[in-house]
Structure 1
Amino acid sequence: MNATAPPGEAAMPSDAEFSALAEPFRTELLAHCYRMLGSIHDAEDLVQETYLRAWRAFDRFEGRSSVRRWLYKIATMACLTALETRSRRPLPSGLGAPSDDHRVAVSARETAVAWLQPVPDALVGTDDPAAVVTARSTVRLAFIAALQLLSARQRAVLTLRDVLAFRTAEVAAMLDTTAAAVDSALRRARSRLAEAHGALEDLAEPDEEVRRTLLDGYVEAFTRADPDALLRLLRADVEMEMPPTPTWFTGQEAVVGFLAHRILRRNRWHLVPTRANGQPALVAYACVGEGRYEAYGVQVLTLRQGRIARITAFNDPSLVPVFGLAPVLVRGMTDGQR
């Protein structure tokens, strides 16, 4: 496997050899690290660290396990080490009760909290039309938020066993523990996940025509500041949260009232459709004058039974470049011409 080294020196792996064996797993390892950490920025860093560790140790890889399983062991251990000094990443809905009155005082942004982040479908391989619903479901926001409630080791065991379908013995080898310990952690993780996640949401999205009609209608209503049009797209029990703002809302009246009085009246918006977490999403830009729009964040929509059930607005401009879009857009018309 390795080039011949001078006596007394370790043989270093060929870059081409290592790349050919390891690179095919980069996308799925990024998804794994994202599930563990709840942050696309942290996940990208840990994948880079995984490949660096793997390259340095490649000359000692003896082929007793598959390259894939070996890489997952390195990535999982790197994530567990990182989580020793990091708190879980919540959404506002995981920290307090919602308001059903849009007139409440909205809390100041909690920038000190490390909030859950969305992930572009393109980065974790769920933008492929052939991807099955169950594959997309393992990166949906509700699932990732529920995972954050587990201990780091329970998170690792559950994702390795239930998401990636490694056998118990394989997981035990990856985590340097026993099969009995893996089974015990898995039982606790499943129980905690069911308790935290409650009844699993309907993961089946509407067909493409219905989904496109909903998304186009939402973009049109939002950019035209038309709350009545928005109302027709939302479920009666719709919820909206906006990290890093802890305040969140439930019910059509509260959500539409908040948008109408505090969002749509204050800015003109430009929304760019995309996909995140296996769900429809939009990159939001706010107009700052003279046709100039600056990145504002990413909205992820949860659809259920032909309506929008949840709007999760990640109001963090630093997420926009992750989706391959520029931080500033200049459009042809000024506000006065529109």
Structure 2
Amino acid sequence: MAETDLHETFRGDLLAHCYRMVGSVEEAEDLVQETMVRAWRAAGRYDPELASVRTWLHRIATNVCLTALDGKARRPLPSGLAPAGDDPYAPLTPSLDVPWLQPFPDARLGDPAVAAQQRAGLRLALVAALQLLPARQRAALVLRDVLQLPAAEVAQALDTSVASVNSSLQRARATLRAAAPVLEELREPADPDERGVVERYLAAFEAADVPGLTRLLAADVVLEMPPVALWLAGREHYRTFMERVFAMRGPGWRVLPVRANGGPALAAYAPADGGWRAHSLQVFAISGGLVRRCVTFADPAVFALFGLPATRTGDAP
């Protein structure tokens, strides 16, 4: 196999890695391409006795990401900026000056085996929490705890000592523990009824059945709506907000199941002009047979990331 072909087999893996680092699918794709160019130029210096091809490529990708992150603002979710709101009828004003975290289309990983391997490490809660970390701490934690590289290889990738890596890891883990129990989520299996919950949610959403939706929610469910900075916590706030949505937009929505960030998601199309127009992409966290979090990316532009059309007509699937 030619070197370039061998490198290409890791493209999905590298895309996931760069996305975790920068929080943007579009930026991650550019950074993977830069990684491939650098790997091709440095192929003659690669020593298989020092590192596997995968580790070597991740070292290049990490340094490409660190350069790209220099001086850039982090990409948050609304819950990372302010406390939860208490008014489901608050104005829904987009904060377009914030570089929001983007959802990740699982289809971009290519090989289903890669998608299965990357699942936990792509969860929105983890990627959002990673944005709280300084870039080098972020890199150390991703390489060590997500990719599970030995500390010595992480030190080599970051051109530092094992002691420095361990120190960075301690600080990074402490920050993440304070933000959310996301490190534990890396070891949790998927909810066995995840698909059934999403199917029931989809059916209730298309029927504008707010009581049916509410029965699928955990008591402490969280609803986030980037680029709107407002976010809500609790089943009753969620229920009231959904009543508001259907009162504003009407019933008759069409919803498509997709996969995002290693889990279930729904692409929602609102009724418009005799058809349907892209409205929002909803990414779920489900456990215990209930929706624990729904991050609703209320920006039709994200549909392009998933290869989805901006409008639908008739009975198009």
Q: 1:256: which partner in 2?
A: 239
Q: 1:158: which partner in 2?
A: 141
Q: 1:286 aligns with which of 256, 270, 274?
A: 270
1:189 partnered with 2:172: yes
Decide whether aligned partners of structure 1 residues 30 and 321 sit closer, same or farther in structure 2, where only a CA change above 3 A counts: same
How far apart are the structure 1 equivalents of 2:111 and 2:73? 27
Secondary structure in 2 matching 1:235: strand
Decide whether aligned partners of structure 1 residues 140 and 130 sit closer, same or farther in structure 2, where only a CA change above 3 A counts: closer
Deviations 1:115-162 (A, max 9, x none): 111112222368559936xx4221111111111111100010111111
Q: 1:39 aligns with which of 24, 48, 53?
A: 24
What letter matches 2:190 in structure 1?
E
Secondary structure in 2 matching 1:238: strand
1:143 partnered with 2:129: no
Q: 1:67: which partner in 2?
A: 53
How far apart are the structure 2 equivalents of 1:152 and 1:212? 35
How far apart are the structure 2 equivalents of 1:205 and 1:72? 27
Structure 1 position 191, deviation (Å): 1.4
Q: 2:156: which partner in 1?
A: 173
Decide whether aligned partners of structure 1 residues 177 and 212 sit closer, same or farther in structure 2, where only a CA change above 3 A counts: closer
How far apart are the structure 2 equivalents of 1:258 and 1:21? 49
Q: 2:65: which partner in 1?
A: 79
Decide whether aligned partners of structure 1 residues 203 and 67 sit closer, same or farther in structure 2, where only a CA change above 3 A counts: closer
Unmatched 5+ stretches in structure 1: 1-15, 334-338
What letter matches 1:296 in structure 2?
H
Structure 1: 4+ residue segments shifted above 6 A: none
Q: 2:79 aligns with which of 93, 96, 109?
A: 93
What letter matches 2:302 in structure 1?
L
| Correspondence 1:186-335 to 2 at 5 A | 186-198=169-181, 200=184, 203-207=188-192, 210-263=193-246, 265-267=248-250, 268-291=252-275, 293-332=276-315
Structure 1 position 263, deviation (Å): 4.3
Secondary structure in 1 matching 2:265: strand
How far apart are the structure 1 equivalents of 2:146 and 2:114? 20
Unmatched 5+ stretches in structure 2: none
Give the CA RMSD over aligned residues.
2.2
Secondary structure in 1 matching 2:268: strand
Larger Rg, first or second structure (1 or 2): 1
1:55 partnered with 2:49: no
What letter matches 2:273 in structure 1?
G
**How does the TM-score come out when normalised to structure 1?**
0.85
Decide whether aligned partners of structure 1 residues 264 and 275 sit closer, same or farther in structure 2, where only a CA change above 3 A counts: farther
Decide whether aligned partners of structure 1 residues 212 and 71 sit closer, same or farther in structure 2, where only a CA change above 3 A counts: closer
**How does the TM-score come out when normalised to structure 2?**
0.91
Tell me if structure 2 keeps the 8 A contact 1:127–1:275.
no
Structure 1 position 107, deviation (Å): 4.6
Q: 2:105: which partner in 1?
A: 120
Deviations 1:288-324 (A, max 9, x none): 2112x22223100111211111111011222212223
Structure 1 position 327, deviation (Å): 2.2
What letter matches 2:218 in structure 1?
R
Percent of aligned positions that are identical: 47
Tell me if structure 1 keeps the 8 A contact 2:121–2:146.
yes
How far apart are the structure 2 equivalents of 1:181 and 1:188? 11
278-287 vs 263-272, greater mean Cα deviation? 263-272
Secondary structure in 2 matching 1:177: coil
How far apart are the structure 2 equivalents of 1:66 and 1:257? 53
Tell me if structure 1 keeps the 8 A contact 2:106–2:115.
no
Secondary structure in 2 matching 1:87: coil
What letter matches 1:84 in structure 2?
D
Q: 1:27: which partner in 2?
A: 12
How far apart are the structure 1 equivalents of 2:255 and 2:298? 13
Structure 1 position 113, deviation (Å): 0.5
Secondary structure in 2 matching 1:213: helix
Tell me if structure 1 keeps the 8 A contact 2:74–2:132.
yes
Decide whether aligned partners of structure 1 residues 224 and 153 sit closer, same or farther in structure 2, where only a CA change above 3 A counts: same
Tell me if structure 2 keeps the 8 A contact 1:206–1:304.
yes
Deviations 1:53-92 (A, max 9, x none): 2122223434443322221111000100111031111000
